[in-house]
């Protein structure tokens, strides 16, 4: 039982971080980032390259992954999303663009890193045993780092000037612009930050589960689910959604492990019933 | 806390009919000036047809375009294939036609203002429905085809009632999940035979009316793929004609009112929940029919026959062709499918070039290929 809860918390911390990036991009730009899972995979492969192959310290690899993704996110926003949003008649056109980018990243990652499952050495060895709870130390470290990033993100959003500006933008883009917030610049920053969060989680998890070029799509879908459970565009919702999904998976896989895929079917169906009752998720506001 | 930004409504309707394909909605970016929305909703609510009276030349032009289209699909293409001997193209073109039918369904949900990424679920459901009816219960394919569509329409009413309450991105994400639900359900149910799927489904039998054979049994033909091509093309023509008629009917006007502003339409006395379920059911019907014929051609179906990728592609077909045009999905499917096939020779770079050109196309023509027609019209 303790084991199930511990696993759920560990999963939840990772998931929450993934969902945060997705919800940030959505709140600022109104873009549903289909390529989020691919960004996660790319982060994983950067860490594999720097830490696994080049044998540099893990911290350096993680910074490299974050920087790569931040630059990629900024470039995507500046040269693709901004242009399409300006030219298109419908906001939904960005979905096609995002799907195109997801395919593009999938193909690029496959060409650069191949289709093999890649993993790296453990960052710390040993296992933490307490009563009948067994957790490897590296999982604890990774979960701790994820929580640290989440806290840092929240503090930044709450107490710094860019954070305030982005919150204002998420509330009302036009009003924020009228108050002198450079919305284009912060759109770029937000996109870079969202992509960076995806890369960070990828970089963290490659040390435990490894990474392969095909998992981008499924990760995106999980991220969508977390955002839906919590409510799109809400920080607290993304975190809550991440932990809820992590816990559901952990419990479901234990209770229903004899039936395999039934866990996910049950989660999906439960989520659809939940959304029928609360169409805006836990914390989302109704659509205007 | 971050808060969500509501998606701006995307249409101020312009009515007016001219060339083929008809511009059922030239969505303009303007964030729905209130007057225009009110006007559109009022007209829709009162059941006026928004179209200006068509001039004689426009009518003649449209009839000519339809004739050219029919001649191309039913005469020119089969003739060209027969004379070049590329009979493999029959299969490819049938696939395009069937995917276009399913994409047409997605287009209809776009038309009521919902982004539907779940058509794969209905294509899969329709495929399984037809396969089970034919292979297990020994139905005729011709009966199972409408049955599959109706089963999908019925199921989509049950699913649609709760999920159509969701708006914007929530709806799209939940439909995306729906595709995955369909796949997992197909894996779990006993009647669908799990991961092994249903194989060696018999081909469509003959249709006899008063002792006359109208359609011969497909396995008695020398070239069943040709028969499948005609079947798929005829179904596509039928479905898109129906879709065009629907969009230009009173119901279509009501659907447009839903897209512009559901609350406003509701305040005008439009039964919004009923209409959106109707639109979703029609959309799923098309998905089911497309899936059922696909299964008849492939003679097999697996849980992975229609996946999330297919669902996303159905949506992309609509985007690419242009959301403002009834025939957009048809063109989009053709271009995407053949684009993908042509790039097969580039080997490992296939997906890279394909997605790269998709991004480029998005940058150059963000409103779909058919939006070129608008440019031409505005230019003089």
Residue B219: other Cβ atoms inside 10 A: 12
B31–A contact, CB cutoff 8 A:
no
Question: Which residues of chain A does B185 touch, with a Cβ-Cβ cutoff of 8 Å?
Answer: 265
* Average pLDDT score over residue span B257-271: 87
To test the contact with chain B by mutation, choose from A88, A101, A167 the residue with the greatest count of B C-beta atoms within 10 A, namely A88
**Other residues' Cβ atoms within 10 Å of the Cβ of residue B326:** 27
Would you call A107 and B10 a contact, using CB atoms and an 8 Å cutoff? Answer: no
B172 close to A (CB below 8 A) = yes
User: Among the listed ranges A86-100, A214-228, B284-298, which one has the minimum average pLDDT value?
Assistant: A86-100
pLDDT in tens, A124-175: 777 888 777 788 888 888 899 999 999 999 999 999 999 999 988 888 888 9
Q: CA–CA separation, A88 vs A132, rounded Å? A: 58
- CA B76 from chain centre, in angstroms, equals 24
User: Alpha helix (H) ranges present in chain A?
Assistant: 2-29, 36-47, 58-75, 82-87, 93-113, 137-159, 161-171, 173-178, 183-205, 216-230, 235-255, 262-277
**B198: phi then psi, degrees, rounded to nearest 5:** -110, 125
pLDDT band at A16 (very low <50, low <70, confident <90, very high): very high
* A245 contacts in chain B (CB < 8 Å): none
Residue B50, pLDDT above cutoff 60: no
Is this complex's ipTM strictly greater than 0.85? no
Interchain contact B168–A (C-beta under 8 A): yes
- Band (pLDDT 50/70/90 cuts) for residue A208 is confident
Phi and psi at B122, nearest 5°, equal: -75, -35
Looking at every residue in chain A, the average pLDDT score rounds to 87
**Res B96: pLDDT:** 92
* pLDDT score recorded for residue B379: 54
Cβ contact B4–A89 (<8 Å): no
Tens digits of per-residue pLDDT, A53-105? Answer: 888 898 999 999 999 999 999 999 999 998 888 887 777 778 878 888 999 99
- B270 has a pLDDT exceeding 60: yes
**Rounded CA separation A147/A160 (Å):** 19
Tell me, what's the pLDDT at B32? Answer: 41
What chain B residue is nearest to A85 in terms of C-alpha separation?
Answer: B366
Chain A residues touching residue B166 (CB < 8 angstroms): 275, 279
Residues B86-107: tens digit of each pLDDT: 878 888 899 999 999 999 999 9
Residue A120 has pLDDT above 50, yes or no: yes
pLDDT for res B73: 85
Lowest mean pLDDT among A127-136, A156-165, B17-26, B356-365: B17-26
Determine the pLDDT at residue B157.
94
Overall average pLDDT of the B128-135 stretch? 91
Q: Is the pLDDT of residue B34 over 70?
A: no
Q: Which of B3, B169, B174 sits opposite A171 (nearest CB)?
A: B3
In chain B, whose CA is at the least distance from the CA of A31?
B169
**Partner-chain residue, chosen from A30, A157, A261, that has the shortest CB–CB distance to B188:** A261
pLDDT at B176: 86
pLDDT of residue B39: 47
For A155, the closest chain B residue by CA position comes to: B1
Is B295 a residue whose pLDDT tops 60? yes
Any long-range contacts for B212-216 (C-beta under 8 Å, 24+ apart)? B215/B142
Q: What's the rounded mean pLDDT across residues A95-124? A: 86
- Residue spans of the domains in chain A: they are 14-214
pLDDT band at B14; cut points 50, 70, 90: very low
According to the model, what pLDDT value does residue B100 have?
94
Distance CA B19, CA B61 (A): 7
Of A107, A234, A264, the CB nearest to B355: A107
Q: Do A97 and B349 touch (CB under 8 A)?
A: no
């Amino acid at each position: 039982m303790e084991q199930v809860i511990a696993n759920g918390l560990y999963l939840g911390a990772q998931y929450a971080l993934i969902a945060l990036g997705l919800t940030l991009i959505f709140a600022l730009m109104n873009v549903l980032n289909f390529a989020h899972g691919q960004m996660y995979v790319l982060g994983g492969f950067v860490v594999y390259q720097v830490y696994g192959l080049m044998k540099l310290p893990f911290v350096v690899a993680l910074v490299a992954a974050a920087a790569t993704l931040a630059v990629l996110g900024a470039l995507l926003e500046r040269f693709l999303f901004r242009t399409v949003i300006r030219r298109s008649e419908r906001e939904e056109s960005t979905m096609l663009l995002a799907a195109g980018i997801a395919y593009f990243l999938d193909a690029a990652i496959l060409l650069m890193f191949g289709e093999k499952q890649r993993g790296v050495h453990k960052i710390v060895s040993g296992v933490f045993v307490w009563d009948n709870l067994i957790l490897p130390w590296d999982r604890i470290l990774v979960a701790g780092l994820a929580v640290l990033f989440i806290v840092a993100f929240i503090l930044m959003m709450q107490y710094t000037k860019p954070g305030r500006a982005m919150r204002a933008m998420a509330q009302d883009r036009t009003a924020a612009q009228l108050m002198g917030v450079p919305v284009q610049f912060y759109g770029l920053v937000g996109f870079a930050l969202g992509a960076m969060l995806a890369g960070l989680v990828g970089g963290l998890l490659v040390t435990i589960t490894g990474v392969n070029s095909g998992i981008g799509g499924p990760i995106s879908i999980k991220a969508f689910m977390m955002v839906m459970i919590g409510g799109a565009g809400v920080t607290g919702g993304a975190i809550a959604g991440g932990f809820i999904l992590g816990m559901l998976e952990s419990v479901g896989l234990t209770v229903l492990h004899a039936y395999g895929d039934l866990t996910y079917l049950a989660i999906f169906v439960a989520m659809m019933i939940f959304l029928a009752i609360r169409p805006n998720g836990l914390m989302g506001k109704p659509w205007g | 806390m971050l808060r969500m930004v509501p998606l701006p409504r995307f249409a101020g309707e312009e009515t007016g009919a001219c060339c083929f394909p008809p511009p059922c909605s030239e969505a303009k970016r303007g964030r729905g000036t209130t007057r225009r929305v009110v006007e559109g909703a009022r007209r829709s609510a009162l059941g006026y047809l928004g179209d200006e009276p068509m001039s004689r030349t426009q009518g003649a032009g449209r009839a000519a375009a339809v004739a050219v289209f029919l001649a191309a699909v039913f005469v020119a293409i089969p003739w060209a294939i027969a004379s070049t001997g590329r009979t493999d193209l029959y299969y490819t073109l049938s696939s395009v036609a069937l995917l276009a039918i399913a994409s047409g369904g997605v287009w209809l949900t776009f038309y009521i203002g919902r982004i539907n990424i779940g058509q794969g679920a209905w294509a899969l459901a329709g495929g399984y429905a037809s396969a089970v009816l034919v292979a297990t219960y020994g139905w005729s394919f011709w009966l199972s085809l409408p049955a599959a569509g109706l089963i999908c329409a019925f199921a989509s009413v049950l699913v649609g009632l709760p999920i159509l309450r969701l708006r914007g991105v929530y709806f799209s994400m939940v439909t995306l999940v729906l595709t995955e639900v369909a796949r997992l359900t197909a894996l779990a149910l006993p009647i669908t035979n799990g991961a092994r799927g249903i194989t060696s489904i018999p081909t469509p039998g003959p249709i006899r009316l008063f002792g006359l054979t109208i359609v011969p049994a497909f396995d008695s033909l020398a070239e069943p793929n040709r028969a499948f091509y005609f079947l798929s093309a005829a179904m596509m023509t039928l479905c898109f004609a129906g879709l065009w008629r629907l969009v230009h009917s009173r119901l279509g006007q009501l659907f447009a009112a839903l897209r512009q502003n559901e609350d406003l339409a509701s305040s005008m006395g439009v039964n919004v929940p009923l209409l959106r379920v109707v639109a979703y059911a029609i959309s799923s019907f098309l998905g089911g029919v497309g899936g059922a014929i696909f299964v008849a051609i492939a003679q097999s179906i697996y849980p992975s026959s229609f996946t999330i990728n297919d669902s996303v592609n159905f949506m992309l077909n609509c985007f690419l062709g242009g959301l403002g045009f009834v025939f957009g999905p048809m063109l989009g499917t053709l271009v995407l499918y053949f684009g993908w096939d042509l790039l097969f020779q580039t080997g490992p770079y296939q997906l890279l070039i394909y997605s790269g050109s998709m991004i480029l196309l998005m940058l150059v023509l963000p409103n779909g290929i058919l939006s070129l027609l608008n440019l031409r019209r505005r230019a003089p």
